[in-house]
Structure 1
């Protein structure tokens, strides 16, 4: 991999504080900048990948919702089933305490 020079202007106080921060981490300012740049690129890539995954999940859910063969379960039925499962779990916990 070839190296490139990255030149930009920065406030003197920020430059001094950044150099001190890098020194406290036993790094040069250039080393710390490379770390920060890599982290920014990776964070951006991870966000983009998550957004793509999320969009695909939404598309799949919408497709499933539009499918006439999709079986719909009424909210009340789901609530009753969850209440039953919760009661069973609580009963098991109580039984294990004894």
Structure 2
């Protein structure tokens, strides 16, 4: 899993999965990012998107990953507060968790 960094640090606390979707996406700097297996657990005040668990995003146009899978958990890559997962891990979590599943962020 990827730990996030300032200014996008994931807020510590107790949450619940609010919703999950197989196919999420967002656009940043003209790039449309596809986000598989998204499980939302927190809405940052004033933000348009939510924070959750998901597979490493990839560019819908070029199919390039936002970061190489082997770099998950290493310094130098950060999300906007979400926890990025390897494909097999995001798939397992997507099948395991449901709306209401407890989430603890430390």
The TM-score with structure 2 as length reference comes to 0.21
- Which of the two has higher C-alpha Rg? 1
Relative contact order, higher structure (CA 8 A, sep 6+): 2
